[in-house]
C-alpha cells in the first residue's frame, strides 16, 4: 500500500532549543569504546545541557556538546544550530573541529555560523530564523565541540532531554540539569527509561552513560516509543508575553481557550446571515455542520503563515473571511466561528498530524502538537474536521489525524479524547474485473476498484490528476502488467458516503508468457503484492502495524476458443495473528474461470520474536499472488 496523498500539513513553529557542547574529555577518536561504534554513525562523547529557570518568562539554556562523527551519515547529529526570534537571543555560539587524533583543525565564532530564515518548504512566511554551522568535513572521523548559550523569554517550550536523538547514534555521556530559581513548580515525566543506563541525581538532574546506538528496523513502533525521554514543563509559563498556567491539560486548555482563541471568532454579520440562510430549515446539527464545512472548503485555501504567539495563536476569523486563506489554526478557528453562527458547538483541537500515528500525551500536559483540527461533538461520537483540505469528505480523518489522542480546547478547559479508528472492515478495497483473454496472450478488461476508509485516503489522490497523469498512474499501479493501454477512465467520488469508485477499461498485449503451445497466465492481474518486508538476521525492535485494512478481489477470466486449462491449483488459505489471506480459482465453465482473493491485515503491536512469522506470512502472500494457470492451445 502506497501513501501518496499529501494532506496539507500545518506545522507549528516549535522553537528549537537543542544542544551542543564542550567537554573536558579527550577529543581523540581512539577514546571511544568499541561497543559504541557499532550501529553508530556518530557518538555523543559528552553532552551537558543546563536550563536555568529564573522566572516564568526568563529561561537560560547552556549547551555543551562534543560529538565524534564517524561517517557522512553522522553529520546530522552534530546539532550545531540554534533557532531564534524576537523572544529568543543567542548569547554565545561557538564550535571547534578536531581531527581523529584530537588536534584542533578549525574554529567557528558566532559570526561564522550561517544565518537563515527558518522557512521550511511548505511555509509561506515565518518570522523564525536559524543560525547553523555549515562545515564541510575534510575527513572522517572528526570531532566537533559545540557550545551555546541562549536566553529565552518564552518558557512554553522547555528543552526535553533525549540523549539518543535518532537512529545510529550512541552516547558516551549525556547530562541534563534543570535549575529552578523561580519558585514555580516544575512538572517532569520520564519515558522509556528501562534498560538504559541512566542515573537520577535529583528530580531534574539526570545523567546517562554508554547508551548504544539503535539500528533502524522496518515497522518499528516509532523512535519516540523506544528512546529515553525526560519531559519538563513549568506550571506557570510565558508564551511570547502571554502568561499561562499548566498544572494539567484542563488548565492548559483553559489557558489556550482564554488567551489564544477567545475573541478571535468574530465574523461579519453578512457572513452570519449568509450561513444562516444556507442552513435554514435544517435542524440536525450534523447536517448543518456538513453544509458549513463545505461552504468553508469552497471559500478558503490553506497557506502556512507562521506568525503570532510562537505560531500558536490563530488568525482572527474576520481576517480569514476577508483573505480567504490561512493556516490550520486560522481555518479551524474560522470554521468554528461559522458553526457557532448557526448554533453548532465545536472545539478547537490540537493534534500530532502525520501518517504515522502519534498521541498527545494524556498524562503530561505540555506545549505539544503540530496541527489543529475541529471537533464537532455529537451524541454518538465526536466528528473531526480537517479544515486545511478543500477536498476531504466531511468528518474524514484517515491517514493524517485518525486513531490518536488529541487535545480538545473547550471553555471549561482541555480534554484528551481519541479520534476515529478506521478498522480493517472499514478500510476496504474491492477490486472486480472481467477479463477477455485472447489467443495471442493479450487481453482486454473492465476493472473496478472501490475504496473506503484508509484505503480511500490512499486512492483519493487520483481524482485531481489530469487524464495524462491518471493514465500514467494506472500503468504504475498495475506495473505487473506490461504493455498496458488505458482505454477509458471513469471515477466516481461519493463524498457523502466516502466511497471512491474507479472504473477503468484497459487492454494489454503479451500478458501471458508463452512456452511452446502453452500459455502461462497469472490470474491475479489487478492486485498483486510484490514486496516482502526486509529480512533481519536478528530483530532488535518490536514492531507495529499501524492500521488494519482489507482487500477483496474477484476476477472473471473468459478464455478464448480453442484454449483450455491444462493445470491449475484450486486455492489456499493462510491464517496468522497478523491477518488472513485466501485465494480460490474456480472453473465456472470450460471457457470461464473465477479467481477470488481476500486479504485482511490486522492492526497491532507485536513483539520482535514475531517478526519472522509476520515476514513469512507476507512472503507466502507474495508467492501465492504469483500463482499461475497453464493453458493449452489446441
* Residues 507-526 contacting another protein, CB under 8 A: 510, 513-516, 518, 520
- Report 21-40 residues binding another protein (CB under 8 A): none
Q: In terms of CB distance, is 33 or 510 closer to another protein?
A: 510
Query: Helix and strand tally (H, E) in the chain?
Result: 8, 38
Q: Build a one-symbol-per-residue string for 107-146: x at contacts with another protein by CB under 8 A, - elsewhere.
A: -------xxxx-x----xx--------xxxxxx-------
Separation of alpha carbons 392 and 293, rounded Å: 10
Smallest distance, another protein to C-beta of residue 105, A: 8
Min dist. Cβ of residue 477 to another protein (A): 11
* 532 contributes a contact to another protein by CB under 8 A: yes
**CB-wise, 291 or 520, nearer to another protein?**
520
Short-list 361, 359, 500, 511, CA closest to 445: 511
User: Considering the rule CB under 8 A, would residue 1 count as an interface residue with another protein?
Assistant: no
Residue 40 burial by Cβ neighbours in a 10 Å radius (0-12, 13-18, 19+): buried
Asked if 387 and 329 count as a contact pair (C-beta separation under 8 A), the reply is no
Q: Which residues pair with 189 in a beta bridge?
A: 231
In angstroms, the Cα distances linking 572 to 420, 552, 575, 580 are: 34, 15, 10, 11
Handedness of CA 76, 78, 80, 84 (dihedral sign): positive
Residue 71 Cβ, how far from another protein at the closest point, in Å?
7
Distance CA 615, CA 608 (A): 11
The span from the CA of 264 to the CA of 251, in Å, is 20
Residue 329 interacting with another protein (CB under 8 A)? no
Dist. CA 282–CA 25, nearest whole Å: 72
Binder of another protein out of 1, 6, 201, 467 (CB under 8 A): 467
Torsion of CA 535, 539, 540, 542, to 10 degrees: 90
CB 203 to another protein: min, Å: 39
Rule CB under 8 A: say whether 464 interacts with another protein. yes
Cβ proximity to another protein: between 268 and 411 the closer is 268
Total residues at the site for another protein (CB under 8 A)?
69
- Nearer Cβ to another protein, position 338 or 357? 338
Cβ closer to another protein: 43 or 409? 43
Q: Mapping DSSP to helix (H, G, I), strand (E, B) and coil, where does residue 287 land? A: helix
Q: Does 613 bind another protein (CB under 8 A)?
A: no
Q: List the interface residues with another protein, window 291-320 (CB under 8 A).
A: 298-299, 301, 303, 305, 319
Between the alpha carbon of residue 347 and those of residues 253, 333, 606, the distances in Å are 11, 9, 35
State in angstroms the smallest separation of the CB of 96 from another protein.
Answer: 14
What share of residues in the chain are helix, strand, coil (percent, to 5)? 20, 40, 40
What is the closest distance, in whole angstroms, from the C-beta atom of residue 289 to another protein in the complex?
A: 21
Contact predicate 536/628, CB 8 Å: no
Which residues between 200 and 239 bind another protein (CB under 8 A)?
215
Considering only residues 558 to 597 of the shown chain, the ones binding another protein according to CB under 8 A are 566-569
DSSP of 158-198: PPPB-SS-STTEEEEEEEEEEEE-S---EEEEEES-TTS-E
Angle at Cα 238 formed by Cα 237 and Cα 239, nearest 5°? 125
Name 469's Cβ contacts closer than 8 Å, sequence gap at least 6.
Answer: none
Member of 50, 480, 501, 598 binding another protein (CB under 8 A): 480
Please give the grid coordinates belonging to residue 606.
507485536
37 Cβ contact partners less than 8 Å away, ≥ 6 residues apart: 43, 70, 170
Q: Given candidates 72, 199, 273, 490, which one binds another protein under the rule CB under 8 A?
A: 72
Q: ω into residue 141 within 30 of 0, thus cis?
A: yes
Instruction: With contacts defined by CB under 8 A, name the span among 246-254, 426-434, 474-482, 550-558 that binds another protein.
Output: 474-482
**Which set of grid coordinates corresponds to residue 240?**
511570547
Among 71, 120, 210, 540, binds another protein (CB under 8 A): 71
**Residues 75-114: x where in contact with another protein by CB under 8 A, - otherwise, as a string:** ------------------------------xx-------x
Q: Is 628 in the site for another protein (CB under 8 A)?
A: yes
Work out whether 166 is an interface residue with another protein (CB under 8 A).
no
| Residues of this chain, 236-295, that bind another protein according to CB under 8 A | none
| Shortest spacing between CB 20 and another protein, in angstroms | 20
Candidates 466, 589, 609, 634: give the one binding another protein (CB under 8 A): 466
What x/- string results for residues 418 through 437 when contact with another protein is judged by CB under 8 A?
Answer: --------------------
- In whole angstroms, how close is the CB of 525 to another protein at the nearest point? 14
| Residue nearer to another protein on the CB measure, 88 or 367 | 88
What is the gyration radius of the CA atoms in the chain, in angstroms? Answer: 29
Least distance to another protein, CB of residue 516, Å: 5
Binding site for another protein (CB under 8 A): 71-72, 105-106, 114-117, 119, 124-125, 134-139, 215, 298-299, 301, 303, 305, 319, 322-325, 390-391, 464, 466-469, 471-472, 475-476, 479-480, 482-485, 510, 513-516, 518, 520, 530-532, 534-535, 566-569, 619, 622-623, 626-630
Amino acid at each position: 500500500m502506497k501513501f501518496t496523498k499529501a494532506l496539507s500539513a500545518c506545522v507549528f513553529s516549535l522553537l528549537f532549543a537543542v544542544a551542543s557542547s564542550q567537554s573536558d574529555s579527550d577529543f581523540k577518536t581512539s577514546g571511544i569504546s568499541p561497543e559504541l561504534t557499532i550501529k553508530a554513525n556518530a557518538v555523543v562523547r559528552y553532552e551537558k545541557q543546563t536550563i536555568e529557570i529564573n522566572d516564568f518568562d526568563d529561561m537560560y539554556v547552556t549547551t555543551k556538546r562534543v560529538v565524534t562523527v564517524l561517517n557522512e551519515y553522522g553529520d546530522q547529529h552534530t546539532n550545531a544550530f540554534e533557532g531564534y526570534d524576537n523572544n529568543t537571543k543567542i548569547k554565545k555560539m561557538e564550535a571547534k573541529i578536531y581531527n581523529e587524533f584530537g588536534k584542533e583543525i578549525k574554529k567557528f565564532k558566532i559570526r561564522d555560523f550561517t544565518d537563515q530564515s527558518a522557512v521550511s518548504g511548505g511555509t509561506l512566511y515565518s518570522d523564525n530564523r536559524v543560525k547553523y554551522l555549515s562545515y564541510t568535513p575534510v575527513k572522517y572521523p572528526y570531532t566537533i565541540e559545540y557550545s551555546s548559550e541562549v536566553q529565552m523569554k518564552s518558557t512554553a517550550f522547555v528543552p526535553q532531554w533525549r540523549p539518543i536523538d535518532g537512529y545510529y547514534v550512541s552516547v558516551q555521556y549525556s547530562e541534563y540539569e534543570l535549575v529552578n530559581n523561580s519558585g514555580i513548580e516544575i512538572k517532569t515525566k520520564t519515558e522509556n527509561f528501562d534498560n538504559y543506563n541512566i542515573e537520577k541525581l535529583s528530580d531534574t538532574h539526570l545523567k546517562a552513560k554508554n547508551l548504544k546506538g539503535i539500528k533502524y528496523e522496518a515497522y518499528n513502533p516509532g523512535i519516540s516509543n523506544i528512546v529515553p525521554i525526560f519531559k519538563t514543563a513549568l506550571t506557570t509559563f510565558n508564551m511570547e508575553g502571554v502568561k499561562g498556567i499548566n498544572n494539567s491539560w484542563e488548565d492548559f486548555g483553559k489557558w489556550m481557550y482564554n488567551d489564544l482563541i477567545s475573541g478571535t471568532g468574530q465574523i461579519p454579520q453578512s457572513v452570519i446571515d449568509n450561513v444562516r440562510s444556507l442552513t435554514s430549515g435544517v435542524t440536525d446539527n450534523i447536517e448543518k455542520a456538513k453544509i458549513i464545512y463545505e461552504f468553508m472548503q469552497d471559500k478558503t485555501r490553506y497557506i502556512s503563515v507562521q506568525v503570532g504567539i510562537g505560531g500558536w495563536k490563530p488568525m482572527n476569523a474576520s481576517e480569514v473571511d476577508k483573505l480567504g486563506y490561512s493556516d490550520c489554526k486560522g481555518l479551524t478557528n474560522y470554521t468554528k466561528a461559522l458553526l457557532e453562527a448557526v448554533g453548532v458547538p465545536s472545539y478547537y483541537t490540537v493534534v500530532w498530524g502525520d501518517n504515522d500515528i502519534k498521541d498527545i500525551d494524556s498524562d503530561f500536559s505540555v506545549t505539544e502538537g503540530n496541527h489543529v483540527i475541529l471537533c464537532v461533538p455529537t451524541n454518538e461520537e465526536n466528528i473531526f474536521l480537517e479544515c486545511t483540505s478543500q477536498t476531504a469528505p466531511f468528518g474524514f480523518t484517515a491517514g493524517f489525524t485518525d486513531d490518536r489522542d488529541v487535545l480538545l480546547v473547550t471553555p471549561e478547559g482541555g480534554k484528551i479524547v481519541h479520534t476515529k479508528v478506521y478498522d480493517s472492515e472499514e478500510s476496504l478495497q474491492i477490486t472486480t474485473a472481467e477479463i477477455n483473454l485472447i489467443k495471442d496472450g493479450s487481453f482486454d478488461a473492465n476493472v473496478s476498484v472501490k475504496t473506503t476508509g484508509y484505503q480511500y485516503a490512499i486512492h483519493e489522490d487520483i481524482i485531481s490528476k489530469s487524464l495524462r497523469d491518471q493514465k500514467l498512474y494506472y500503468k504504475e499501479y498495475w506495473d505487473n502488467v506490461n504493455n498496458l493501454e488505458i482505454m477509458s477512465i471513469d471515477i466516481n467520488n461519493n463524498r457523502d458516503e466516502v466511497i471512491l469508485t474507479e472504473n477503468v477499461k484497459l487492454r494489454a498485449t503479451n500478458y501471458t508468457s508463452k512456452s511452446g503451445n502453452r500459455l502461462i497466465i497469472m490470474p491475479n492481474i489487478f492486485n498483486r503484492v510484490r514486496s516482502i518486508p526486509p529480512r533481519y538476521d536478528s530483530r532488535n525492535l518490536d514492531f507495529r502495524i499501524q492500521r488494519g485494512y482489507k482487500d477483496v478481489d474477484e476476477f472473471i477470466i473468459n478464455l478464448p476458443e480453442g484454449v483450455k486449462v491444462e493445470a491449475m491449483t484450486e486455492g489456499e488459505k493462510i491464517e496468522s495473528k497478523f491477518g488472513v489471506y485466501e485465494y480460490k480459482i474456480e472453473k465456472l465453465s470450460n471457457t470461464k474461470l473465477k479467481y477470488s482473493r481476500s486479504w485482511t491485515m490486522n492492526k497491532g503491536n507485536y513483539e520482535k520474536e514475531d517478526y519472522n512469522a509476520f515476514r513469512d506470512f507476507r512472503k507466502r502472500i507474495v508467492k501465492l499472488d504469483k500463482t499461475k494457470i497453464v493453458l493449452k492451445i489446441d
